[in-house]
């Protein structure tokens, strides 16, 4: 099915759901008239309607009645109650896409009637600017076309990789939570720039553009990050001094540990 023929609904109109909705719109994959969401928070409903042009409903049932692809974008501890409330409305024509961290396909399938088509996804917020990174795993009732549809939607907002469900916790640790790590790096670098005498606005833009440029070099050259790092660290130069300080501070280990901690937390949520 073409994405232009698909109606999309969000159960939960928070930041992640809103980011995906805006990404789909920006890519021209869905018309605002085929977009809707529900949320217990009236402010979230109003914001969704204003920012996307889609409809905002008070109940989840109204979203299920008006959309074919249902994004479950709520907190993990709300999943049971929400799915119980809509399970009798879910038909073979529906595709449920969960972006709830740590909630397994088995848990999701156990809350819906047999044969429900479910895809578990771990996206991230840069989808809002078309630079998202997502991993997804289709459930046992899904046809190949269902996975292809989800891949097309997610790819409109960045990159998307089909992975084994067992790897989605690792995806959470790397890319799901990863934007926060990047923001902290940019903030810390800009603080250093201010300490060295730069105006705050200049320091932030330099730091952010540097991280963007470094990421583009990794993606576009295909070279290992270590090789690219070595290209910058000339003998006896400023960069190797800076890298030495990062190593002394345990930055590399801290990043490895933070990814593992997020992945472990994702497992516990399930």
Segment 24-51, tens digit of pLDDT: 988 888 999 999 999 999 999 999 999 9
CA distance 201 to 209: 12
Closest by Cα among 20, 169, 160, 10 to 105: 169
The Cβ of residue 236 has, within 10 Å, a number of other Cβ atoms equal to: 7
- Residue 83's nearest CA partner among 97, 93, 102 is 97
Residues paired with 72 in a beta bridge: 11, 98
pTM of this structure: 0.90
Q: Are strands 132-138 and 117-122 parallel, antiparallel or unpaired?
A: antiparallel
Rounded Cα distance between 64 and 204, Å, is 43
Q: Encoding tokens for residue 243?
A: 């890298």
pLDDT tens sequence across 189-226 = 999 999 999 999 999 999 999 999 999 999 999 999 99
Q: Strands of the chain (E only): list them.
A: 8-11, 35-38, 55-57, 69-72, 95-98, 117-122, 132-138, 158-162
- The mean pLDDT value of the chain amounts to 94
142-148 — which CB contacts under 8 Å span 24+ positions?
Answer: 142/95, 142/117, 142/118, 143/117, 145/1, 146/95, 146/117, 146/119, 147/119
Is it the case that residue 1 has pLDDT exceeding 70?
A: no
Calculate the CA 93 to chain-centre distance. 25
For the chain, state the CA radius of gyration. 21
Q: Cα dist. 183→177, 204, 212, 213 in Å? A: 11, 10, 11, 15
Tell me the pLDDT tens digit for each residue of 77-129.
899 999 999 999 999 999 999 999 889 999 999 999 999 999 999 999 898 88
Cα 268 to Cα 260: distance, rounded to the nearest angstrom: 12
**Is-contact 94 68, C-beta < 8 A?**
yes
Residues with Cβ within 8 Å of residue 90, at least 6 apart in sequence = 64, 70, 96, 112, 113, 116
- pLDDT, residue 2, reads 52
């Amino acid at each position: 099915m073409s994405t232009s023929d698909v109606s999309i609904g969000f159960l939960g109109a928070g930041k992640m759901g809103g980011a995906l909705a805006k990404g789909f719109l920006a890519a021209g994959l869905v018309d605002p008239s085929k977009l809707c969401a529900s949320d217990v928070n009236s402010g979230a409903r109003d914001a969704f309607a204003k920012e996307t042009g889609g409809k905002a409903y008070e109940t989840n049932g109204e979203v299920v009645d008006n959309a074919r692809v249902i994004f479950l974008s709520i907190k993990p501890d709300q999943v049971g109650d929400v799915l119980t409330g809509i399970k009798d409305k879910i038909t073979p024509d529906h595709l449920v896409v969960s972006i709830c961290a740590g909630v397994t396909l088995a848990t999701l399938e156990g809350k819906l009637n047999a044969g429900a088509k479910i895809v578990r996804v771990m996206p991230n917020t840069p989808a809002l600017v078309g630079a998202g990174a997502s991993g997804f795993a289709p459930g046992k009732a899904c046809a190949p076309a269902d996975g292809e549809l989800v891949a097309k939607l997610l790819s409109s907002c960045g990159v998307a990789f089909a992975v084994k469900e067992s790897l989605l916790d690792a995806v959470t640790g790397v890319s799901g939570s990863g934007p926060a790590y990047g923001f902290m790096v940019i903030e810390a670098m800009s603080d250093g720039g201010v300490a060295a005498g730069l105006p705050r606005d200049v320091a932030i833009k330099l730091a952010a553009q540097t991280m963007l440029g470094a990421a583009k070099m990794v993606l576009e050259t295909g070279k290992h990050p270590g090789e690219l790092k070595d290209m910058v660290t000339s003998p006896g130069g400023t960069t190797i001094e800076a890298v030495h300080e990062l190593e002394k501070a345990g930055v590399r280990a801290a990043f490895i540990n933070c990814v593992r901690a997020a992945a472990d937390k994702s497992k516990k949520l399930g």
